[in-house]
Amino acid sequence: MNEFAAQSAIEWFRMEIGPGWLAATIAVVMVLHGRRMLAWLLSIKAISPTPALSRFLSRLVGTRHYSEAAFLAADGAPEPVQRARQEAINHLATTMRERCPKSEAWGMGVREGLSDLRFADANRVPFPFAKVMREKFNLCSVAVASEGPYIVDMDGNRNLDIGGSYGVNVAGYDRYKNWIDRGWAKVRDLGPVLGPLHPIAAENIAMLKEISGLEEVSFHQSGTEAVMAAVRLARFNTAREKIVCFSGAYHGWWDGVQPGLGSERVIDDCLTLKEMNPASLEAIRRMARDIAGVLVNPVQSFHPNSPPPNDAVMMTSGIRKTRDDVTQSYSAWLRELRQVCDECNVPLIFDEVFTGFRLAPGGAQERFGVRADMVLYGKTLAAGLPIGVVCAKRGLMRRFDPEHPMRIAYVVGTFSAYPQAMGAMNEFLHWVRTPEAAAEYAAANQRCAAWAKLTNEEFSVLDLPVRIGHLGTIWTVLFSQPGRYNWLLQYYLRIEGINMSWVGTGRCLTSLDYTDEDYDALRVKLREATIKMKNDKWWLSTQEQPERDRDIRRGLTREFAGSLLRFPRPVGNFYSEIMRRKHDDHVASHSHPVNQLLHLISSTSFVVAYVLIFSDFAAAMWLGLAALFLRQIGHALIEPTCHDKEQLLLGFDTRSKSLILGAYLLIPAIHMAASNSLAPEALLAMAPQVALQWFGFTALVIAGRVAALVRKHGLYNALVWFVKLITDPFTDIKAYYPSLLLRKVA
């Protein structure tokens, strides 16, 4: 039968594609979706695979916890090294407890109730190691004071801060405290009044327009909300859907712009491209008519073991750049991006919530010499008080459509311009525009560059596997030697008296009030922590472990494969997702008893057709089509064809399903018209050919839908839909027969 079906399908394609319905169907699809599909296909090499891959693997890779023995031998180290490491990790935990007893007690008291206890919860520890670390360490950051670049914890320890309060601390904590006090004095008479604006807001707007070079300003409650507002306004005012961002970028906790981080929710209106890749520029050109804005984080945040703003070796217009050319290369990349956006009339959006006023008094625009159409700022601007700001061209800030008065972009925030933030912002803006501030920025950048250079030279002489990469006062720790324990350096640094953010050594910041003495202290602490970690055998030389690199690769490959090959959990998750979709389907649009009866008859017919297809192909297809029509009649007359969840996932609606059913009817209609006969023998003669064409059309529709789902929602969701589709008849019988039987008995 299979050989016959294959030969028949080939013959059918050869005979029918010219004059028949298939050409018309493809033509309609290409007219409706061809341009977008072609643009997407031509841009595949520019699209970052990270989001889809991370979502796919997140469903397959299961949790695994090392035992303490496996923890110590994760890189294949010999037994003497494992014993040395065991002593070292126990000593490290004891030292931390002794150094911070009050902090540990406080952490134990709130650990169960505080979900954001980031450091204590081993957030930046690879998950196989996390269980052992949680058992040995119970430490969190509890601070009571700041003194210059130092933070004082509740045990009285003065820790040199390199966390920068998530980017807030540019000018220095003491300065911010003074600005908050002076700003509050300016608005104290109004107090915490929301709604009416304090007059100082107008002065702030004027200074923001001058700094950003843009025409209008809006205030929001946080940097994340500024991103949300900018994306909404860009879509509203361009009447387009897609937002382009770049892999590795972080734009706040809003999952609408987190595809690059593997957001759990599938983002189908955000296109994640590869950064600093010429193919991405071409992709923007091809898809410009669908792009509402290009959202750029001028200093990417999530590129492991790479210096800001991006990889040490980069491509710009096909020209390879070295680490010494990082700033120059990135400026060239942003200029090219600006040029492409101008050519395509696509807004360029700079997310400077993190970089704004960090790289220069005018932010990344000043540092890289590129002007954006929208610029977003965060709490640095208000001396650390919660605030978000959008500066943009006037055409991108409209909340109302002048041609359609009922079309409104609703953007609002309760604390969007509250007096306390306006007062502190006023103090900051007056300072940042002064020549003295510009001189401080230049001096701070020079001090950080000199410190990084001296540190790298010293570490090279000492043969330590750590280097510093930096851009201005943003820097990161780079590891020059492969290892399974590089993340452990953050714990050694903490013992040396260094305060970090939850991202550990991935992104570090120093403030303008860092003196040469502070940088010297930082270098010493970093050096001592690295030496201790090396002496404790967390890094092994090739002399100590001749097959080190091979052992690490083999171990990682074995663990990854072992996690993927634990079939019961992935298959169980897959089955659960299919059944969840079926349940949602039944509850939303299969509750009426008449519709259930029609579905029961239809499903029974489908099951018979599944069996019959191996002995009588034509009869199976005709029976299957009758079952399909019966199934859809139940929806068309009794219950909705598609419920909201199905329509959101599949894009199906009543109209699209009606068109598909109409195409099925069109095929025999064409045959009857061609034969000019309604005689029974003529109808019987055309039945096998019609059945084969129905089969081909069904395969085309299903394959097209699977391909569309893969592109829009990923392979996993496409497979879930496909398996659900072909198994629905079996589960419908199981679901509706008992239900109808119980109704009959009642």
Model confidence pLDDT, tens digit, residues 527-585: 999 999 999 999 998 888 888 888 888 888 887 777 665 544 566 677 777 887 877 77
Give the H/E segment covering residue 316: strand 314-316
pLDDT at 281: 94
Alpha helices in 61-121 (DSSP H): 68-72, 79-99, 101-110
Of the chain, the percentage scoring pLDDT greater than 70 comes to 79
Q: What pLDDT was estimated at residue 745? A: 43
d(CA 116, CA 110): 10
pLDDT for 167-214, tens place per residue?
Answer: 899 999 999 999 999 999 999 999 999 989 999 999 999 999 999 999
Mean pLDDT lowest for which of 5-14, 91-100, 333-342?
A: 5-14
Q: Could you give the CA distance from residue 349 to residue 596 in angstroms, rounded to a whole number?
A: 51
Mean pLDDT of the chain: 81
Quote the CA–CA distance of 303 and 250 in Å, as a whole number.
11
| Cα–Cα dist 174/513, whole Å | 9
Asked if 389 and 353 count as a contact pair (C-beta separation under 8 A), the reply is: no
Quote the pLDDT of residue 690. 83
Global pTM reads 0.73
Query: What residue has token string 């890094």?
Result: 539
Whether residue 400 has pLDDT greater than 60 = yes
- State the DSSP string of 647-670: HHHH---HHHHHHHHHHHHHHHHH
pLDDT on residue 411: 83
> Residue 309, preceding bond cis, omega within 30 degrees?
yes
Please write down the HEC assignment for all residues of 595-620.
HHHHHHHHHHHHHHHHHHCCCCHHHH
Residue-wise pLDDT tens digits, 659-691: 777 788 888 888 777 777 666 666 677 778 888
d(CA 143, CA 156): 9
Q: Which range has highest mean pLDDT (97-111, 235-249, 377-391, 426-440)?
A: 426-440
Which of 516, 523, 381 is CA-nearest to residue 444? 516
Res 1: pLDDT: 44
Per-residue model confidence (pLDDT) at position 2 = 47
Both tokens assigned to 206: 């004027």
Give pLDDT, residue 746.
45
What pLDDT is stored for residue 108 in this prediction?
A: 63
3-class secondary structure, 518: helix
Q: What is the pLDDT of residues 145-177, one digit of tens each?
A: 999 999 999 889 999 999 998 889 999 999 999
What is the per-residue pLDDT for 655?
A: 63
Which pLDDT value is given to residue 204?
96
3 state DSSP class of 463? coil
Average pLDDT over residues 16-42: 56
Kind of pairing between the strands at 270-273 and 242-246: parallel
Average pLDDT score over residue span 74-82? 91
β strands within 535-630, DSSP E: none
Q: Which of 62-71, 420-429, 571-580 has the highest mean pLDDT?
A: 420-429
List the one residue out of 282, 211, 397, 309 whose CA is nearest residue 42: 282
Specify which of 366-375, 569-578, 696-705 reaches the highest per-range mean pLDDT.
366-375
Distance CA 84, CA 88 (A): 6
| SS3 readout for 374-436 | EEEECHHHHCCCCCEEEEECHHHCCCEECCEEEEECCCCCCCCCCHHHHHHHHHHHHHHCCHH
Residue 301 confidence class, pLDDT cut points 50, 70, 90: low
Distance CA 576, CA 292 (A): 37
State residue 117's pLDDT score: 47
Q: Is the pLDDT at 312 greater than 60, yes or no?
A: no
Q: What is the rounded CA–CA span in Å between residue 291 and residue 286?
A: 10
Position 193 scores a pLDDT of 92
For residue 448, the model assigns a pLDDT of: 95
pLDDT score at 471: 87
Q: Contact 664/694 with Cβ under 8 angstroms?
A: yes
- On the question of pLDDT at 326 being above 50, the answer is no
- Do the bridges between strand 466-471 and strand 474-479 make them parallel or antiparallel, or are there none, so unpaired? antiparallel
Residue 220 has pLDDT above 90, yes or no: yes
The Cα 165–Cα 248 span in angstroms is 21
Asked whether the predicted pLDDT for residue 608 surpasses 70, the reply is yes
Taking residues 263-291, what's their average pLDDT? Answer: 86
| Domains of the chain as residue ranges with CATH | 72-168+445-559 (3.90.1150.10), 173-433 (3.40.640.10), 568-745 (no CATH)
Q: What is the DSSP annotation of 195-244?
A: SSPPTHHHHHHHHHHHHH--SEEEEESSHHHHHHHHHHHHHHHHT--EEE
